[in-house]
Structure 1
Amino acid sequence: MRLRLDTLFGRLFGVLLLAIVLAHLLAFAWFFYYGPPPPPGPPPEFSRQGEGPPRFNPPPQHTPRPWFGGPVVPLTFQFVCLIVAAWYGAKLLTRPIQRLSDAAERLSENLDSPPLEETGPREARQAAHTFNLMQQRIREQVQQRSRMLGAVSHDLRTPLSRLKLRLEQIDDIKLQGQMRQDLNDMIGMLDATLTYLHEQRTSEALQWMDVQALVESLSENAQDQGADVQASGGCAPLQVQPMALRSCINNLMDNALRYAGHALIALEDKRDQVVIRVIDHGPGIAADKREAVFEPFYRLEGSRNRNSGGVGLGMTIAREAAERLGGQLSLEETPGGGLTAVIRLPRT
């Protein structure tokens, strides 16, 4: 296997090999310079010269080694070298992953974010190149869908408008009314579908917003149109996507007005989140059906059907808007009967 230094494996292997070689070279040089401790000398000797008294010959004297001449210093240096190499190797491994993660987060917020730089080891360059290709293809698909939506909107609205004009030529009043109702349903479904697809491709930047003022404004606008909508509670400003939050609350409020004839929007400010409740006392939804209503075009039988308005996209749009805000949308039973939609938005 040929070792390539432009790969992540080659760089990591080279760093660790260099650290090990340097640590061992220092250890060898250190022990060579100070050498092993001297062997013990011969035992003391007594000698006689002539008839004089015996003379003591002391062993040769050796200069003692300094305290740092032992294995402590080279072993410590080896330990430090390996720690530094392991730290640098971990940085080499995690840096490309962190760059890819940051780019993916930017892409989730904005499809037009700048492409990822194709630099670094070969594996990192390959991952960055693949990521940039994916971003380009996603952008092309979104643009293609936008063009398709424009074409669908134009091509369907035109014949529907002509049909509405030709209805006036029908003498049968009953048949005319039925056909007008069917055309209105088709136009409503077309508008709801286009709105849903538009909401999916919309990308907004986060900004600070007075949620309490938004809720009060929506309530007052509904009251001006003769709807029974009340607002209560309060909260501090929150960092949100304004259009997404407005769309979420609007759809929940319209849902409550459609099926109950009234709505109460209650705010609750907590330390780590803001809770928005849209409360009604209408027919409610059975517990086993509450998740199903978030599916596109899903409609319940009975009071919550097409005859009472809607095409089954309002709750879908509301949940997806809440998720784009990093929050959650769930449905609960209102005490005393009815439905409560609960939006939980985190404080970041």
Structure 2
Amino acid sequence: MKLLPKSFSGQLALLLFLALLVAQIVTFVLFAGERMRAAQQSYQESVVERAITLKRLLQDIPPAMHGRLLEAASEPRVKFWGSDKPSTRGGRDKVSDFLATELAVALQLPRGSVRVAIGVERPGDRPHWWSFRDGRPPPPQRIGWFKAAIALEGGGWMNIATAPPPGPRPFGRPLFVSLLISTVATLVAAMLVARRIVRPMRALADAAEGLGRGEAVGALPETGPEEARRSVRAFNEMRERLDRFVRDRTHMLAAISHDLRTPLTSLRLRAELLDDVEMREKMIETVEEMQHMTEATLAFVRADQAEEETRSIDLAALVDSLAADLVELGQSIAVTEAARPVVRGRTVALRRAIRNVIENAVRYGERAHVTVDMTQTPSEARVLVEDDGPGLPEGDLERVFEPFVRGEASRSRETGGIGLGLAVARSILRSHGGDIWLENRPSGGLRVVMTLPA
């Protein structure tokens, strides 16, 4: 099974070739059998006609010349000779009777004057095709393809013994030439048909993969066979429904965010008019938190949309650039490059996802160590972000990816943020065909593992 081609066109070509090979072999075997039977029939008729001619000639020449005439008429595969007694007692099968009757009618002789035997003469003998190339008649107990004895008018018998007719070769150059031409024509036709079928399916697979990575995918042309057209049509309808759903949801939340700005602004103005300073500061802080939550929610929803062009990205260079920017802001970050994988993605979105993870590591673990390498399979790149913080309980390693869930118990944005950083990072990475998860390090601290298709 490992030797079988993986592509549809290769499998189709192999299947057609095997079917064609079997069909050609069966056809040539049947054709060779028909040719063999036709050759035997023609050979038999030729021997009968020669026997009739010799019988008539023998009647017109002296008996002393019979032997020379019969010897001159003989050849390697047909032997004629004279004798006082018949060389065969005649066969008892239908073919022998048919030939004996045919010779008797052609020679205008009584049925008993012609004796014909087909196959072996004695019961229990195995068939033996005698060769007359040595110029001698076969032994009495053996015969050739058939053996006949014809009574002469002046006495004696004219005996005939034949070897099997040379049949056509069932296999040879015609078979291979025909098979080669048929194979080339069939493979060309198979490749053309396979390309017509595979082209829309390959485009569908590429589009589905791009859509799964969050890329902007346009409507595919409906080409190829009806089954391929139906698959492409179903994909186009699914893509349109998804786009419409995300677009409607984003518009709704954008409208809600826009509508909330007016009451929030009004609350902030009223809070500014309060005389109680402590109450005024608390209310302003609450309004600002509501504004940040609204904007973060809208940004989280927009992260699902493909607003940026997909391109090839040097992941190590992206991490280096991001780390350099954060180091300039006073954060403690170290980067190790064990490999330089290239991924397909949206630069701004991936930069945002990795930045969220690194900033969390610095916020909770004081410093971050980032490693870029490849997994055990060469088709997947990996970014590890490790910190020296307290880690998380095992039950919270998955829960912190939910929106507005934080690993830090307080609600202060100075110590923990809104709680959307990891949720946005997971949304972005999964839209690129990758994933993200958390692990507690044995030596302490937290490890964030991010994977992307290389």
TM-score, scaled to structure 1: 0.73
| Structure 1 gaps, min length 5 | 1-14
Is residue 334–residue 340 contact of structure 1 (8 Å, CA) maintained in 2? yes
Which residue in the other structure is 1:285 paired with? 392
Q: Which deviates more, 104-113 or 22-31?
A: 22-31
Amino acid at match of 2:278: K
Over 3 Å counting, the alpha-carbon distance change for 1:154 and 1:274 in structure 2 is same
Which residue in the other structure is 1:165 paired with? 269
- SS at the partner of 1:232? strand
- SS at the partner of 2:304? helix
> How far apart are 1:196 and its partner, in Å?
0.8
Cα distance in 2, alignment partners of residues 172 and 185 from structure 1: 20
Which residue in the other structure is 1:11 paired with? none
Is residue 216–residue 231 contact of structure 1 (8 Å, CA) maintained in 2? no
Output one character per residue of 1:124-162: Cα deviation in whole Å (capped at 9) or x when no partner.
333333332222233333333343343233222232123
Output one character per residue of 1:323-345: Cα deviation in whole Å (capped at 9) or x when no partner.
23433322122343221212234
Which residue in the other structure is 2:169 paired with? 67
Give the alignment's Cα RMSD to 1 decimal.
Answer: 4.0
Which residue in the other structure is 1:144 paired with? 248
Over 3 Å counting, the alpha-carbon distance change for 1:292 and 1:28 in structure 2 is same
Which residue in the other structure is 1:6 paired with? none
Q: How does 1:73-152 map to 2 (within 5 A)?
A: 88=190, 91=194, 95=198, 97-109=201-213, 112-152=216-256
Cα distance in 2, alignment partners of residues 149 and 73 from structure 1: 74
Question: Which 4+ stretches in 1 moved above 6 angstroms?
Answer: 22-30
Selected match of 1:57 from 151, 156, 159: 159
Over 3 Å counting, the alpha-carbon distance change for 1:274 and 1:121 in structure 2 is closer
Is residue 438–residue 449 contact of structure 2 (8 Å, CA) maintained in 1? yes
Amino acid at match of 1:282: G
Output one character per residue of 1:291-334: Cα deviation in whole Å (capped at 9) or x when no partner.
1211223334xx34423332322111112222234333221223
Over 3 Å counting, the alpha-carbon distance change for 1:165 and 1:236 in structure 2 is same
Amino acid at match of 1:265: H
Is residue 244–residue 324 contact of structure 1 (8 Å, CA) maintained in 2? no
Over 3 Å counting, the alpha-carbon distance change for 1:171 and 1:237 in structure 2 is same
Cα distance in 2, alignment partners of residues 233 and 159 from structure 1: 48
Which residue in the other structure is 2:56 paired with? none
Which residue in the other structure is 2:411 paired with? 306
Is residue 118–residue 129 contact of structure 1 (8 Å, CA) maintained in 2? yes
> How far apart are 1:213 and its partner, in Å?
3.8
Cα distance in 2, alignment partners of residues 198 and 26 from structure 1: 69
Selected match of 2:335 from 232, 244, 253: 232
| Structure 2 gaps, min length 5 | 1-15, 41-94, 96-117, 119-144
Cα distance in 1, alignment partners of residues 406 and 353 from structure 2: 18
Is residue 215–residue 231 contact of structure 1 (8 Å, CA) maintained in 2? no
- SS at the partner of 2:334? strand
Cα distance in 2, alignment partners of residues 237 and 121 from structure 1: 39
Over 3 Å counting, the alpha-carbon distance change for 1:176 and 1:239 in structure 2 is same
Over 3 Å counting, the alpha-carbon distance change for 1:346 and 1:34 in structure 2 is same
Output one character per residue of 1:150-202: Cα deviation in whole Å (capped at 9) or x when no partner.
32332222321232222110111221122122112211211221111111113
Is residue 274–residue 345 contact of structure 1 (8 Å, CA) maintained in 2? yes
Cα distance in 2, alignment partners of residues 232 and 132 from structure 1: 43
Larger radius of gyration: 2
For the pair 1:201 / 2:308, whether they are aligned, the reply is no
> Among the aligned pairs, what percent are the same residue?
32
Over 3 Å counting, the alpha-carbon distance change for 1:46 and 1:26 in structure 2 is closer
Which residue in the other structure is 1:245 paired with? 350
Q: Which deviates more, 183-192 or 338-347?
A: 338-347
TM-score, scaled to structure 2: 0.58
Over 3 Å counting, the alpha-carbon distance change for 1:62 and 1:257 in structure 2 is closer
Selected match of 1:264 from 347, 368, 372: 368
- Equivalent pairs counted in the alignment come to 317
Output one character per residue of 1:92-136: Cα deviation in whole Å (capped at 9) or x when no partner.
997465454334234435665332222333333333333322222
Is residue 265–residue 276 contact of structure 1 (8 Å, CA) maintained in 2? no
